[in-house]
């Protein structure tokens, strides 16, 4: 206990310096020198908050306070959600979502990843985090880290390996809510890998966590493009902007002779994007390197392999779209 009342001006100056302006509302609660402080931790990762509180308390005690009571506050940050969708399964949507997130992270975007493909989660495999269970902080899940700097949540991390997820629509919607409304820390952009089609999960996503934009993935073949058009129509009806269209499995280079063939056709998605007045984000080839890396839990966008270049090209256009949106 101090013999004299501490100098509030001195304490305020010390708090501002230690917290880099995050401390405010300093007031003395009694003549003994008990000090109350409000500490704004908005945007700080969970692991950075306690050290800041400890430094602030120690500094204020050194500056003359007898006791320090700190109330931490944080504004709930609105996440920018980019939905990755497709009209049908088997077009490489999850591979695109995983590599898009990794490529955005490499560009400095604070990005997280949600595997909203409730019934067929594959992102834990693609990002080598199978068997890693998310922890809970209070009522919220804490995303699982990985070697690629993209925290992620997936039903594949909650259900037992190989277990069939047989949930009706309301249960799937609740699961999506837990995955999106998690403790994301300083993440500001969330890439959400949606299931194929236009079902319950997509509707729940639009109603409760409206995406800022949607990336649509299709192969070049006509059947896939017809289904992609349905997915685009769903988002447009809900006033969700279409960031653009990606053509996946676009051409196959023979590893022996180098000749390029087009088992799924060529240029269909680019032509469809032009016809629908949408941006074409790029094409990703049907490449053995992408398949092998993905099966091994190593997203091609994470390294220097040329197989990752198409994903970085797509990510560059998505990043430009995000920057343009923030500038509005």
What DSSP letter does each residue of 280-321 carry, written as one string? EEEEE---HHHHHHHHTT--GGGSS-GGGHHHHHHHHHHHHH
Greatest mean pLDDT among 27-31, 57-61, 160-164, 170-174 lies in 57-61
pLDDT band at residue 1 using 50, 70 and 90 as cut-offs: very low
The larger pLDDT score, comparing residue 161 to residue 310, is at 310
What DSSP letter does each residue of 139-192 carry, written as one string? TEEEPBP-TTS--EEEGGGTSPTT------HHHHHHHHHHHHSS--TT--EEEE
Percent of the chain residues past pLDDT 70, beyond the cut: 88
**Residue 201: is its pLDDT beyond 90?**
no
User: Dihedral sign, CA of 300, 303, 307, 308?
Assistant: positive
Domain ranges of the chain: 8-73, 80-326
Res 315: pLDDT: 97
**What does the pLDDT look like over 128-151, one tens digit per residue?**
888 888 888 777 888 988 889 999
Q: Which residue has the tokens 């302006």?
A: 21
pLDDT band at residue 228 using 50, 70 and 90 as cut-offs: confident
DSSP structural state of residue 257: T
The three-class DSSP label of residue 56 is helix
- CATH classification code of 80-326: 3.40.50.300
* Cα–Cα distances in angstroms (integers) from residue 219 to residues 6, 116, 249, 289, 308, in the given order: 70, 21, 6, 18, 18
**What does the pLDDT look like over 269-311, one tens digit per residue?**
788 888 889 999 999 988 888 888 888 899 999 988 888 999 9
**What does the pLDDT look like over 233-281, one tens digit per residue?**
989 999 999 999 999 888 776 767 666 776 666 677 788 888 889 999 9
Given the candidates 3.30.70, 3.90.350, 1.10.3120, 1.10.760, the CATH classification of the domain at 8-73 is 3.30.70
Q: Which residue has the tokens 């799924």?
A: 264
pLDDT band at residue 3 using 50, 70 and 90 as cut-offs: low
Extract the tokens encoding 159.
């259900």
Global confidence as pTM: 0.74
Mean pLDDT of 66-78: 82
306: Cβ contacts below 8 Å, ≥ 6 apart: 289
Taking the C-alpha atoms of residue 306 and residue 287, their distance in angstroms, rounded to an integer, is: 11
147: number of Cβ within 10 Å: 11
């Amino acid at each position: 206990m101090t013999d004299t009342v501490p100098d509030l001006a001195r304490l305020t100056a010390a708090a501002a310096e230690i917290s880099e302006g995050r401390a405010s509302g300093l007031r003395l609660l009694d003549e003994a020198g008990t000090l109350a402080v409000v500490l704004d931790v908005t945007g700080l990762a969970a692991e950075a908050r306690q050290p800041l509180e400890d430094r602030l308390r120690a500094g204020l005690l050194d500056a003359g306070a007898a006791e320090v009571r700190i109330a931490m506050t944080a504004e709930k940050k609105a996440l920018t959600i980019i939905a990755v969708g497709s009209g049908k399964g088997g077009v490489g949507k999850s591979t695109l979502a995983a590599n898009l997130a990794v490529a955005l992270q490499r560009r400095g975007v604070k990005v997280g990843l949600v595997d909203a493909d409730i019934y067929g989660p594959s992102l834990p495999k693609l990002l080598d985090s199978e068997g890693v269970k998310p922890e809970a902080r209070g009522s919220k899940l804490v995303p699982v880290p990985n070697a690629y700097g993209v925290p992620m949540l997936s039903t594949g991390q909650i259900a037992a390996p190989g277990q069939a997820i047989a949930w009706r629509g309301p249960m799937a919607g609740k699961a999506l809510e837990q995955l999106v409304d998690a403790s994301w820390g300083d993440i500001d952009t969330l890439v959400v890998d949606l299931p194929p089609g236009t079902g319950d999960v997509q509707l729940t996503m639009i109603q409760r966590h409206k995406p800022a934009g949607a990336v649509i993935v299709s192969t070049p073949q006509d059947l896939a493009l017809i289904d992609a058009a349905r997915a685009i129509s769903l988002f447009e009806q809900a006033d969700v902007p279409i960031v653009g269209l990606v053509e996946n499995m676009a051409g196959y280079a023979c590893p022996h002779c180098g000749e390029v063939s087009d088992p799924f056709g060529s240029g269909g998605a680019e032509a469809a994007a032009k016809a629908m007045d949408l941006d074409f984000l790029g094409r990703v080839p049907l490449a053995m390197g992408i398949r092998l890396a993905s099966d091994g839990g190593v997203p091609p966008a994470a390294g220097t392999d040329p197989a990752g270049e198409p994903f970085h090209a797509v990510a560059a256009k998505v990043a430009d779209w995000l920057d343009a949106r923030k500038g509005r």
